[in-house]
Structure 1
Amino acid sequence: MREIDELANVDDPVWPELQQALAASAVPVRVLPADPAESRRTLLQLQVTARSVLGSLTVNTGGLVLDDGWVRVFGGGSSANGGVPSLAQVNRFPDAFDPAWHPATGLVVGQDVLGGVFALNGHDPAAAGRPGAPGQLTYFAPDTLAWEGLTIGHSAWVSWLLSGGLEQFYEGPRWPGWRAEAAALANSQGIAVYPFPWSKEAHADLAGTTRRPVPMREVLGVAADFARQLGPADPGFLGEL
């Protein structure tokens, strides 16, 4: 076990470099203020240092809100604009540090407003029904109800987000006017789509669907329930909100 000061107060933190990347981002990004106590609790359980992007986001930010609210990247937690939970809250970390505790299937690190979930694979992704190698990003796609491998780690994923990778990645699951709808949401909300994003009707004409803001937990809950009924497999844990 490394103590919190060993993790947070390092000689060569990545935060100055990350600040430059955030300032030069190809997409709109808001850096949320962190809850100091929660961010330190989270970093202690993660046992990663501020030399990593994961550790730096945890100790220096409450999370990131990208593309006018379409994607949220979790960090140390913030109460701003309806609140973004910390990595600890999303992943059900124990209240007190437990060296024996690890996320069962992987670490949820981000979500999008349609119920898409970005997660870092755990030590045995195949057993969890997820593609890719340990430590690589996977994405639960709400339009297919399945996990997809992204073949990159957390640091490369954040760089990809800031470099404009979202535009091509979400080319299909977006409609005219999506930006205004996402921007109007509180950080605790997502967008409920009907017919559902995985339906034949939504695939044929997403712009013709009915959409409304709802709590994010509702979006995730509906996607998880239908994935168990209709998808290729139980998606497992998608994050606690």
Structure 2
Amino acid sequence: MYGMAMRPLSELINDEDSAISFVRTTALAEPGRCVVHPPSEFAADVLYHTQVTTRSPMGAIAYHTGGISILDGWLRILGSGSAAIPRSLSGWNTGRSDGFHLFADDAFGGFFALDGGALGPGKGDVFYFAPRSLEWEPLDCSYTQFFTWACTDFRGFYDDVIWSGCETVIADMKPDRCFFFYPPLWTAERVLPPIDIRDIPVAEVWGYQMEMRLQLASQEASCE
């Protein structure tokens, strides 16, 4: 990760000091909130291409789990991939990340990433690509702090994008999809509940939002 020399699996897998016990304890602290999915057969390959040791929560999730679903898919933390979350941590970043590392996303079309130097002044900080602004917003926390927060309490983080009954819609959504709103959340015309809402593949939402971000930046530059 971040252009470092590739370390062998023997340096990444640490069974004596693995963070998986912390991951499971934290994920299961609030009954019914999180589901830890079993790892895929490609877990070792995912860990190798992620280049994070299992001593860290990210490495432990990548190697020992297929991902973690929170509140019936409200938020998805990526691991080695599973039927429940059919995307792996390493595969999802291929062709998408540059100077950051995507590791989780939510049903509203938001994406969480670790900064590798492209998003802020310090490597390793967590940023959120917010569908309400189409900007990378600093969360001022580490991956471990993010994970604890996600497994315990969002504390109002989603208050400006939720509506009554959205939990039921999210629970019925497939884990490789997220909401597409009209009017879009980043426009002044947005309303909740939205006039039109449907779910589309996460990859399409990512591509669309990246394209719109570039278009808006280009329009702003031309007006200066």
TM-score range, shorter chain: 0.7 to 0.9
1:229 is displaced (CA, Å) by 1.5
Q: Measure, in 1, the Cα distance between the counterparts of 2:134 and 2:218.
A: 8
Is the aligned partner of 1:45 residue 2:49? yes
Please give the secondary structure, in 2, of the residue aligned with 1:119: strand
Q: Deviations over 1:95-142 (max 9, x none)?
A: xxxxxxxx63210011112221101001x23xxxx2351110011100
**For the Cα contact (< 8 Å) 1:91–1:108, is it kept in 2?**
yes
Runs of 4+ in 1 over 6 A off after TM superposition: none
**Normalized against structure 1, the TM-score is what?**
0.81
SS in 2 for 1:192: strand
Q: Partner of 1:64: helix, strand, or coil?
A: strand
* Equivalent position of 2:127 in the other structure: 138
Q: Is the 8 Å Cα contact of residues 116 and 139 (structure 1) preserved in structure 2?
A: yes
Given candidates 177, 182, 186, the residue that maps to 2:170 is 182
Out of 189, 203, 206, the residue aligned to residue 201 of structure 1 is 189
Structure 1 SS opposite 2:72: helix
Query: Are the counterparts in 2 of residues 173 and 206 from structure 1 also a CA contact under 8 Å?
Result: yes
Whether contact under 8 Å (2:39, 2:80) holds in the other structure is: yes
Contact residue 100 and residue 115 of structure 2 kept, 8 A: yes
State the distance in 2 between where 1:212 and 1:2 align.
Answer: 42
Q: Does 1:7 find its partner at 2:1?
A: no
Q: SS of 1:57's equivalent?
A: helix
Match of 1:86 in 2: 88
Q: CA deviation at 1:50?
A: 1.4
Deviations 1:133-189, CA, capped at 9 Å, x for gaps: 11100111001111101111111110111120x241111111111111111111111
Q: Normalising to structure 2: TM-score of the pair?
A: 0.87
Aligned partner of residue 68 in structure 1, secondary structure: coil
Given that 2:181 and 2:194 are in contact with CA atoms closer than 8 Å, whether structure 1 keeps it comes out as no
Letter in 2 for 1:86: S
Aligned to 2:161: 173
Alpha-carbon distance in structure 2 between the residues aligned to 1:14 and 1:133? 23
CA distance in 1, matches of 2:103, 2:196: 28
Q: Is the 8 A contact 1:138 1:147 kept in 2?
A: yes
Count of matched residue pairs: 214
Higher relative contact order (CA 8 A, sep 6+): 1
- The alpha-carbon distance between structure 1 residues 141 and 132, as it changes in their structure 2 partners (threshold 3 A), is farther
CA distance in 2, matches of 1:119, 1:15: 20
Query: Are positions 1:223 and 2:206 aligned together?
Result: no
Q: Which moved more, 1:5-14 or 1:38-47?
A: 5-14
Contact 2:183 2:194 in 1 (8 A): no
Q: Secondary structure at the match of 1:190?
A: strand
State yes or no: 1:152 paired with 2:138.
no
1:63 aligns with 2:63: no
Q: Check whether the contact 2:63–2:80 (CA below 8 A) recurs between aligned residues.
A: yes
* Offset, 1:227: 1.2
CA distance in 1, matches of 2:94, 2:173: 24
SS of corresponding position for 1:168: coil
Show the counterpart of 2:3: none
The alpha-carbon deviation at position 46 of structure 1 amounts to 2.6
Question: Is contact 2:126–2:141 with CA below 8 Å preserved after alignment?
Answer: yes
Residue number among 180, 196, 211 corresponding to 1:210 in the alignment: 196
